[in-house]
Structure 1
């Protein structure tokens, strides 16, 4: 859960590390990535839209078609507050074709509270698998140690530009740099191969990777010689797979220019990510009975109050739904009973569209 918070808080850095970049426009991408990891508190707001394009005539399953009509266009607006590394809240709205579904989420250490569509009883869960803060700090320290070597060997995509830019976040004027990146499907195989080849030839990087793996799990006892051999084998196999990909029509469609990630990321003079505008597009290579042709996700986000004292918004209630109450045979009814039958969009969807019935007593 805490790792997911990190990803949500620095989506731009995630894109940069996925696409790769060496020095461009006097931008230190290693420091940029590390700076996002060092953010202890932050406030942000954003809008994400999800669109599934489909051919209704090709959808063979009528229940699947019903779901596509309901959820093929989704808009999520969210206001997120990261109070610290263990506490955060999100208040937002999920908009589907039937209307708006407000939601609230509160996380504090291993406690998770979720309120959907103004339910009279929020759901309260204990994340028993959550790692303590000390382990989380060790995880971040490990990633920081590896980041310089990862960034060093990640090749640039065909489109990567860094330009000076002035913009506004809320009412604050930001002087910084705009990172514009585009990565297309037909570039991905060669980018991966280039990265693997670079790592396999860097003795210092291999030593750091091996030491990190052994520190993380003492039972592994990996040697640099063994790791080197595994990397060399992987590079050979990747080269063979690239040759196969070029001859396979399905793979050609999968790794094509129709599939891409595009992003514009505003970074301030402290290398903190302040604004981002991202698009992900994936065209399904083989038409089948699902009728789905493509998936498009667009996200706009801006951040402020970075490393400032802020408070997450708790969700207080006199009663909560527990995991035990949701897990029993009447768990569906227990949840539906917390929703307003007259005005709740979520209740309407669950009962009238998805067929969850509440009138059958056990």
Structure 2
């Protein structure tokens, strides 16, 4: 259990930019606010580019997938009514054409409509309560807060006062710029582990939250703060011992990096961001050598009334529908997805 939790913590630090205040801007609050959003609207655009040598990709099906996904784009507009109710509407844009999609989810069902199919896919959901919603958000904060407060800032981070347009309106706040390079990751990780190991209160908070989650999900085991701390110390020792080898890895190169610009409003909610992830040296024998990902996002109507957009239907497919049943709902002449799926038929 301790090892699983440590892996979860490591995953978390890959996505958080830092927590210490800079020029009076509370970056810690920025991260924690993400777990306190009850409703909002947002739009996101992601595009990616793959680097590979066709002659080196031996798997023909993998080559078809790489050719299909290279230079693709994803656009998504989200309406989050509450923690359990939301709708998505967007497009997957490929070189072969555009695949529109819509999704609606609430406490009773999830409905997914892909490429203007004649029938959506409906998946029943477990019923929840507003009390459960509050418990989930509280637990997120309990786990997130002690982690975030012990994260070191990246070496390359700056803050300036800034105003920018978000969904047609002007948002006054702060612009955060951060850069994290893969060759800095080991030292960043060790600094985080050192901070956490010195903070008995944070360790106790994490352990209590994880035990609460484990009990709520039917688990019959628990751990103590001493056990968790011992696991962290063991992991820190392993990282330290393996540091020389880690630094030799092509993956931990300065060519691999994450860069982001984030606009915060005066209440330290993220309102706009532009991020780039570059992985220039993938070490495997698949033939895929690199990935470049660019993501832009805007958020508005935070914790204000938002209505998710339902999908109307008279009949539907279940989550157990066969491939043939799904294909039958697509337009054979116009559907980009139909042409793609049938092209992979042997």
User: What's the TM-score, normalizing by structure 1?
Assistant: 0.85
Distance 2:294 2:326 in 1: 31
Once the two structures are superposed, what CA deviation does each residue of 1:95-120 show, in whole Å capped at 9, x if it has no partner? 11110111101111241111111000
Secondary structure at 2:118's aligned position in 1?
coil
In structure 1, C-alpha distance between the alignment counterparts of 2:35 and 2:328, rounded to whole Å: 41
1:113 to 105, 111, 119: 111
Query: 2:327 is matched with which residue?
Result: 336
CA contact (8 A) 1:86 1:133 kept: no
Counterpart position of 1:125: 123
**Aligned residue number for residue 51 of structure 2:** 53
Residue number in structure 1 paired with 2:181: 184
* Residues 301-346 of structure 1: CA deviation (Å, up to 9, x unaligned): 111111221211111111111123x1xxxx1111111111111111
The answer as to whether partners of 2:150 and 2:195 remain within 8 angstroms in 1 is: yes
Q: Which residue of 1 aligns with 2:142?
A: 145
- Residue 121 (structure 1) shift: 0.4
CA distance in 2, matches of 1:243, 1:15: 21
Structure 1 residues 147, 61: CA separation in 2 closer, same or farther (over 3 Å shift)?
closer
Aligned residue pairs, count: 331
| 1:153-172 pair list within 5 angstroms | 153-172=150-169
Change (3 A) 1:244 1:133: farther
Q: Please report the RMSD computed on the Cα atoms of aligned residues, expressed in angstroms.
A: 2.1
Given that residues 29 and 151 in structure 1 are in contact (C-alpha distance below 8 angstroms), is that contact kept between their aligned partners in structure 2? no
Equivalent-residue separation in structure 2 for 1:242 and 1:133 (angstroms): 47
Structure 1 residue aligned with 2:242: 241
- Where does structure 1 lack aligned partners over 5 or more consecutive residues? 1-13, 357-362
SS at match of 2:299: strand
Do the aligned partners of residues 132 and 184 (structure 1) sit closer, same or farther apart at CA in structure 2, a change above 3 Å counting?
farther
Structure 2: 5+ residue stretches without partners: 1-11
| TM-score, length basis structure 2 | 0.89
Distance 1:223 1:318, change over 3 A: closer
Residue 292, structure 1, aligned to residue 288, structure 2? yes
| SS of equivalent residue, structure 1 residue 211 | helix
Aligned mates of 2:155, 2:304 — CA distance in 1: 37
SS at match of 2:75: strand
SS of 1:276's equivalent? strand
Please give the secondary structure, in 1, of the residue aligned with 2:98.
strand
Q: C-alpha separation between the residues in 1 aligned to 2:152 and 2:300?
A: 31
TM-aligned CA distance change 1:146 to 1:29, over 3 Å: farther
Shift of 1:17: 5.5
Tell me if the contact between 2:39 and 2:304 (Cα under 8 Å) persists in the aligned partners: yes
- Contact conserved, 1:46 with 1:301, CA < 8 A, in 2? yes
8 Å contact from structure 2 (residues 88, 102) kept in 1: yes
Q: Which residue of 1 aligns with 2:6?
A: none
2:332 alignment partner, SS class = coil
Cα distance between partner residues in 2 of 1:131 and 1:72: 40
Indicate the larger mover: 196-205 or 336-345. 196-205
